[in-house]
């Protein structure tokens, strides 16, 4: 497949890391940034994440593929607008953490076949263009949603972008299932971690003690609490229904632990912790 001209809309952690990956693999011959935040635009250029930053109206004539990597609340406004302006053969994809709102916004769009809904399952707790890292996606999983709603040509190109351009392994699912699974596996982890940080900061007024006593275990559990509040409040918003379901289950699990402790049933608590150990077996499959 010949190399492509790619427009990155939103050059932050994810958009910037995609740019780096596509440049390193030679999959993209040219990278054009479309960025609403002037400071981010300047930073992205100085880091050479993209070759140029242009307004969408100019970029539209220059690129084969747009990758929309804005926060999820912006995606639903931008994608229909981009799609309206696409010429035949051009493709737009988005890489957000929730899928159903975009599915709903685009399901009746006349150019729906030129859009591909995707989610590269990788990230860090940092944000902005300076958070972009080399090789972020290599060996990780990329999700393509609602494959049958995109044209076979668009799917083939985007499969190549993920496999050949970023080194990812692809899996396929419906948007609605994606949002259920990511609530369970990704979004609730962020809730846990943010809430743990809030709790410890509230209870432990002695900052020096946190610093002194924090072990690698605490740092690991609280790592995601360093993530962008803007990004994650929007993800929680867009996936509220699924997240409520799993948050209730999480709170119930904590209340169950509490009940077992208060009644002195530590053998039963030990059994629960033993069941939790099973997550290690599943994660270590790979």
- Give the shortest CB-62-to-a second copy separation in angstroms: 33
Is residue 81 a contact point for a second copy (CB under 8 A)?
no
Is residue 172 a contact point for a second copy (CB under 8 A)?
no
Could you count the other beta carbons within 10 Å of the beta carbon of residue 261?
12
Is residue 134 a contact point for a second copy (CB under 8 A)?
no
Residue whose CB is less far from a second copy, 52 or 245? 245
Q: Helix, strand, or coil here: 99?
A: coil
4-33 binders of a second copy (CB under 8 A): none
Is residue 141 a contact point for a second copy (CB under 8 A)?
yes
Q: What residues contact 95, with CB distance under 8 A and at least 6 apart?
A: 14, 15, 18, 67, 68, 69, 118, 119, 120
Q: What does the alpha-carbon distance between residue 37 and residue 35 come to, in Å, rounded to a whole number?
A: 6
Two tokens, residue 261:
């402790």
Could you count the other beta carbons within 10 Å of the beta carbon of residue 214?
13
Specify the stretch interacting with a second copy by CB under 8 A; choose among 10-18, 55-63, 155-163, 277-285.
277-285
Is residue 232 a contact point for a second copy (CB under 8 A)?
yes
- Give the shortest CB-219-to-a second copy separation in angstroms: 6
Q: Are 9 and 155 spatial neighbours (Cβ–Cβ below 8 Å)? A: no
Nearest to 91 by CA among 9, 164, 36, 15: 9
Which segments of 96-180 are extended strands (E)? 115-120, 141-145, 169-173
- Give the shortest CB-223-to-a second copy separation in angstroms: 5
39-68 binders of a second copy (CB under 8 A): none
Q: Are 144 and 172 spatial neighbours (Cβ–Cβ below 8 Å)? A: yes
101-120 binders of a second copy (CB under 8 A): none
Cα-to-chain-centroid distance, residue 23: 20
- Give the shortest CB-177-to-a second copy separation in angstroms: 9
Q: What does the alpha-carbon distance between residue 36 and residue 145 come to, in Å, rounded to a whole number?
A: 27
- Give the shortest CB-242-to-a second copy separation in angstroms: 10
237-276 binders of a second copy (CB under 8 A): 237, 240, 243-251, 253-255, 257-258, 261-262, 266-267, 269-276
Indicate if the alpha-carbon torsion angle 6, 10, 14, 16 is positive or negative: positive
Binding mask 191-230 for a second copy (x = CB under 8 A): xxxxxxxxxxxxxx-xx-xxxxxxxxxxxxxxxxxxx-xx
Residue whose CB is less far from a second copy, 42 or 201? 201
Q: What does the alpha-carbon distance between residue 47 and residue 130 come to, in Å, rounded to a whole number?
A: 8
Residue count at the site for a second copy (CB under 8 A)?
A: 94
Is residue 1 a contact point for a second copy (CB under 8 A)?
no
Is residue 181 a contact point for a second copy (CB under 8 A)?
yes
Q: What residues contact 272, with CB distance under 8 A and at least 6 apart?
A: 256, 257, 260
Residue whose CB is less far from a second copy, 16 or 33? 16
Is residue 147 a contact point for a second copy (CB under 8 A)?
no
87, 88, 108, 277: residue in contact with a second copy (rule CB under 8 A): 277
């Amino acid at each position: 497949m010949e190399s492509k001209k790619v427009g990155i809309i939103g050059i932050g952690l994810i958009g910037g890391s995609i740019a780096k990956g596509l440049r390193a693999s030679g999959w993209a011959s040219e990278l054009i940034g479309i960025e609403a935040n002037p400071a981010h635009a300047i930073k992205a250029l100085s880091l050479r994440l993209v070759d140029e930053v242009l307004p969408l109206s100019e970029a539209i004539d220059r690129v084969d593929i747009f990758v929309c990597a804005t926060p999820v609340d912006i995606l639903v406004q931008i994608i229909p607008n981009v799609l309206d302006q696409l010429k035949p053969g051009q493709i737009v994809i988005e890489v957000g953490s929730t899928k159903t709102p975009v599915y709903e916004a685009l399901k009746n769009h006349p150019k729906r076949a030129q859009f591909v809904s995707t989610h590269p399952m990788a990230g860090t707790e940092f944000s902005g263009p300076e958070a972009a890292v080399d090789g972020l996606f290599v060996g990780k999983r990329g999700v393509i949603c609602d494959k049958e709603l995109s044209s076979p040509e668009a799917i083939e190109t985007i499969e190549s972008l993920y496999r050949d351009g970023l080194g990812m392994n692809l899996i396929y699912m419906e948007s609605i299932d994606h949002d259920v699974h990511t609530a369970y596996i990704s979004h609730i982890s962020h809730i846990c971690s943010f809430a743990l940080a809030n709790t410890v900061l509230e209870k432990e007024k002695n900052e020096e003690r946190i610093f002194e006593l924090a072990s690698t275990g605490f740092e690991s559990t609280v790592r995601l609490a360093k993530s962008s509040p803007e990004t994650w409040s929007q993800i929680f918003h867009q996936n509220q229904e699924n997240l409520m379901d799993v948050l209730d289950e999480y709170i119930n699990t904590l209340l169950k632990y509490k009940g077992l402790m208060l009644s002195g049933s530590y053998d039963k608590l030990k059994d629960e912790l033993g069941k939790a150990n099973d997550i290690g077996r599943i994660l270590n499959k790979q």
